[in-house]
Chain A
Amino acid sequence: DTEVTQTPKHLVMGMTNKKSLKCEQHMGHRAMYWYKQKAKKPPELMFVYSYEKLSINESVPSRFSPECPNSSLLNLHLHALQPEDSALYLCASSQRQGTSPLHFGNGTRLTVT
């Protein structure tokens, strides 16, 4: 069982929809991450939050909007996505930013139609 919980597991959305991905951890970790993973590729870092503040934004398009409401929750708001944004979106956490290890959730499989 994973200690990082992501919902929903699957999401299909049209290019005009607005949706949100959610991530939750109760390990007391103060760093949380969003990764994007295309099929047969390694995860690519999108955002890092450290102590609920955005620390890293890897030049991600503005149609992806992260939010960290508190130390246990991480959201990724989606709007006007493109079909090429279809991927597995992984959330991860660690005790502090840069410390090891990362604990990953099972991801949200997103399909944009």
Chain B
Amino acid sequence: AQSVTQLGSHVSVSEGALVLLRCNYSSSVPPYLFWYVQYPNQGLQLLLKYTSAATLVKGINGFEAEFKKSETSFHLTKPSAHMSDAAEYFCAVRNQAGTALIFGKGTTLSVSS
């Protein structure tokens, strides 16, 4: 069965520092992977997706993620954090039936000035 594990429920960085949010997946088939962001009192917004094309995926707001099959990872990075990046981030994988998304437990990103 498909699943994702997000390492670290809370990540704190300084403004301008590198952001690294970790996600490892388990999948019996080539995975479809996603990163979503959720700001307070809002729904989820798609940051980027991996669908077996390029292994380095660029998303919105300067985020990118690299699919590494050998490490079963899909970590999210941003070179320079901004205060507005503070939010909850969810990694997700499409289930084996291809009918729905399975979300990780989420990582809260805090950005300090």
A residues contacting B by CB (< 8 A) are 2, 4, 6, 33, 40-43, 45, 48, 55-56, 90, 92, 97-98, 100-107, 109
Contact = CB atoms under 8 A, between A and B. Distances in A.
B: interface residue count bin: 20 to 34
Contacts of A43: 44, 90, 103
Contacts of A105: 43
A93 B90 CA distance: 18
Contacts of B43: 2, 4, 6, 90, 92, 104-107
Contacts of A101: 34, 46, 49
A9 to B, nearest CB: 9
Contacts of B32: 100
Interface string B91-108: 000100111110111100
A90 B99 contact: no
13 contacts: A6-B43, A41-B105, A41-B106, A42-B103, A48-B99, A90-B43, A98-B98, A102-B44, A102-B101, A106-B41, A106-B42, A106-B43, A107-B43
B43 to A, nearest CB: 4
Contacts of B42: 106-107
Contact of B104 (A33, A42, A106, A107): A42
Given A48-B99, A104-B44, A107-B42, A42 B106 contact: yes
B10 to A, nearest CB: 10
Q: Which 3 pairs between the two chains have the least Cβ-Cβ distance?
A: A104-B43, A42-B103, A98-B98
Contacts of A41: 105-106
B45 A104 contact: yes
Contacts of A102: 44, 46, 101
B41 to A, nearest CB: 7
A43 to B, nearest CB: 6
A38 to B, nearest CB: 11
